[in-house]
Structure 1
């Protein structure tokens, strides 16, 4: 049985979107609590947690986050035309929130248990159509993935997470796919969803 990974405490950033391992996420930072979060993570080189909002909003009163989220590591900064700070982040390990507390400034912090990375599994031949669809989606919607190595398309986890990012799924479906721990099963769910997007 695999050893349990440690519990860590991280600042949490509830958002109206799901971040997947290896995914890219651009954020606009303007609330003081999140400017503090960026300073903290930059100073220490640490990550923060991105969780889908289950109840509430991205601004104002702290929202209620989903129990499973993804660590985000800041990879770049920019000063936007609107004068706000922009950050680019990359998704890392998934985690499950065990407890949360709200700081005086409204920043949510969580004690989280890290999940182990999924084992790399080959995309089974019956899911070859998903590889083709992903290539087409990346051509039009995911230019940052166009330089991905061909070997990535053979990795069931990578294919599943990238499709989950690029397909117009409902938020609860995105969260369901994040929480799944079997990459082949995830591909099966995505295959079953695809007919919804076929043109009549």
Structure 2
């Protein structure tokens, strides 16, 4: 694997969900610390980090973030019907948090190492059912992917990350799949999890 790239003083947004590379995340922003963070990212064109919460809650006192997260780049803003700011963010590179600090406003910032993109692998024959399952999930749950390039369904990494974000997985499973470095291994794990969701 190529050398990891350092990234200092990254604002972190601990959430109750995992953002995967290439995924999309819709957020409503209401706490001052995160409104300021979004303003900073919009002004500078920079990203923020999304990490799964290990301890604590999304609002209120600073939560303890997982050590591996994903860069999030804002791709759209909108005003919600409830008057709050809504954003749509897209997942980029994964990163490992080396150290964190909490600012006086409660915003967690961290020094992180960016992981390189994982190698591209075709979906192996023994896992060929998974892209078909993903296509059915997308039709029902993820309209943003309905017109995705058909070639993406041959990409083990893309299929694995999309399945991981659409299946109702447990929190520790979501994080473990994010931290895996081998896209084929991730698909194999998802194949072993799938029987849990099959109707009797």
TM-score interval w.r.t. the shorter chain? Answer: over 0.9
| 1:165 matched residue in structure 2 | 165
Task: Assess if the C-alpha contact under 8 Å between 2:98 and 2:110 holds in 1.
Answer: yes
Once the two structures are TM-superposed, the CA of residue 122 in structure 1 deviates from its matched residue by 0.4
| 1:76 matched residue in structure 2 | 76
> Is there any run of 5+ residues in structure 2 with no aligned partner, and where?
none
Once the two structures are TM-superposed, the CA of residue 8 in structure 1 deviates from its matched residue by 2.8
State TM-score, norm by structure 2: 0.98
Once the two structures are TM-superposed, the CA of residue 119 in structure 1 deviates from its matched residue by 1.2
Aligned residues: 200
Once the two structures are TM-superposed, the CA of residue 3 in structure 1 deviates from its matched residue by 2.8
| 1:181 matched residue in structure 2 | 181
Q: Does 1:23 align with 2:53?
A: no
Once the two structures are TM-superposed, the CA of residue 121 in structure 1 deviates from its matched residue by 0.6
Deviation by residue 1:127-168 (Cα, 9 ceiling, x = unmatched): 111011000000000110011101000000000000000001
| 2:190 matched residue in structure 1 | 190
Alpha-carbon distance in 2 for matches of 1:2, 1:129:
31
Deviation by residue 1:83-141 (Cα, 9 ceiling, x = unmatched): 00000000000000000000010000000000000111100011111011000000000
Once the two structures are TM-superposed, the CA of residue 181 in structure 1 deviates from its matched residue by 0.3
> Is there any run of 5+ residues in structure 1 with no aligned partner, and where?
none
State TM-score, norm by structure 1: 0.98
- The list of structure 1 runs, each at least 4 consecutive aligned residues, that deviate by more than 6 angstroms after superposition, is none
| 2:99 matched residue in structure 1 | 99
Q: How does 1:1-200 map to 2 (within 5 A)?
A: 2-200=2-200
Alpha-carbon distance in 2 for matches of 1:192, 1:82:
41
